[in-house]
Copies of this chain bind each other. A is one copy, B any other.
Amino acid sequence: MAMPEQGAGEAELERRDGILRAGMEVFFEYGYVGASVDEVVRRAGGSKRTVYKYFDNKEGLFAAIVANLLEQMTQPLQPEITDEQGLYDTLENLGKNYLGVLLQDESLAIFRTVVSEGVKFPELAKAFYEYGPGAAIKKLSSYLLRQTEAGVLKVDDAESAARQYFGMIRSDIHMRAVLGLEVPGDKEIDQSISRAVDIFVKEYDAD
List residues of A whose CB falls within 8 A of some B CB.
Answer: 30-31, 33-34, 111-116, 118-119, 122, 125-126, 128-129, 133, 137, 157, 160, 163-164, 166-173, 175-176, 178-181, 191-192, 195-196, 198-200, 202-203
Contacts and interface: CB of A to CB of B under 8 A. Distances in A.
Chain B CB within 10 Å, residue with most, of A34, A122, A160, A168: A168
A20 B173 CA distance: 32
Given A112-B119, A115-B115, A199-B203, A172 B163 contact: yes
A100 B173 CA distance: 21
A112 B178 CA distance: 11
A135 to B, nearest CB: 12
Nearest to A122: B180
A60 to B, nearest CB: 19
A171 B163 contact: yes
Given A30-B33, A157-B195, 20 more contacts: A31-B33, A33-B33, A112-B116, A112-B119, A114-B179, A116-B116, A118-B180, A125-B181, A126-B179, A126-B181, A129-B181, A133-B172, A137-B172, A160-B195, A163-B171, A163-B173, A166-B172, A167-B171, A168-B168, A202-B202
Given A195-B160, A203-B199, A175 B133 contact: yes
Contacts of A198: 203
Contacts of A126: 179, 181
B179 A118 contact: yes
Contacts of A196: 164
A170 B167 CA distance: 7
Contacts of A113: 116
Contacts of A164: 168, 171, 192, 195-196, 199
